[in-house]
Structure 1
Amino acid sequence: MKATWASAAIMLVLAACGRGELDTITFQGVQFTGNLRAERGDRATFVATGGPASVSLEGARRAAYYQAVQHCIAYLGSSDIAWINGPDVEDAALLIDNNSVVLSGRCVEP
């Protein structure tokens, strides 16, 4: 019984531990968070978000870009990306959803 409680307590603690600093960047003194989603069957294709865009489009864009680069390095060992909706577009053309800049692309194998 004690082992069950100890296991449950450890799982709860680990579940509460987020990636924290790995999901944030600081741009001009402000912290921006990023997130990335990729389908299980095709990890190379992704959608990255960063925000809050209302504070700074450039900061949000950099947070999303950072997530994309980290993802491609982790899964394919390369930071090369074929952008579908990339970070190099004009501010007016950026896709913004729920106060986050949305970037999408595909990791390119080296």
Structure 2
Amino acid sequence: MMRIVILGSLVLTLSACGSGLGDRFGIGKGTEFFDGQRYSGSAKADRSDRSHFVASVRPVSASFDGAIEAARYEGVQHCIKYYGTSDIAWDVGPDTPREALVIENDTLTFMGTCQE
């Protein structure tokens, strides 16, 4: 009887993985927190040259420091995915003076190039 209960629990747990419950409870994809906040972010590049990318995160108003780290994370994830390295030459990035960072509509934007 105990095996049936354990097996049933395991099946229910695994079935919840693809149902969106993981996001609701902070489990799985998108659970990285920066300065205690969760950010919506992406890194995009032209298909012809994925080394040059633009990384954006929002909401900056949640935490400026957290947004900077979240944007860096998006860039690093992009470079690892396409080039297998986390080395980035930032045009506008985490080391850019705060007053020179690009912020529009509560969105922080970094630009960089993956280094092979």
TM-score bracket, normalised by the shorter chain, equals 0.7 to 0.9
- Which of 19, 30, 35 does residue 28 from structure 1 map onto? 35
Rg larger in 1 or in 2?
2
- Corresponding residue of 1:106: 113
Q: CA deviation at 1:23?
A: 4.3
How many residues end up aligned between the 2 structures? 93
Task: State the percentage of identical aligned residues.
Answer: 44
Q: Does 1:80 align with 2:80?
A: no
Structure 2, unpaired ranges of 5+: 1-17
Q: CA deviation at 1:25?
A: 2.6
Runs (4+) off by over 6 Å: none
> Greater share of strand residues, 1 or 2?
1
Unaligned runs of 5+ in 1: 1-13
Deviations 1:27-58 (A, max 9, x none): 23221221111101111110001121112111
What TM-score does the superposition give when structure 2 sets the normalisation length? 0.70
What's the CA shift for 1:97? 2.0
**TM score, norm. by length of structure 1:** 0.74
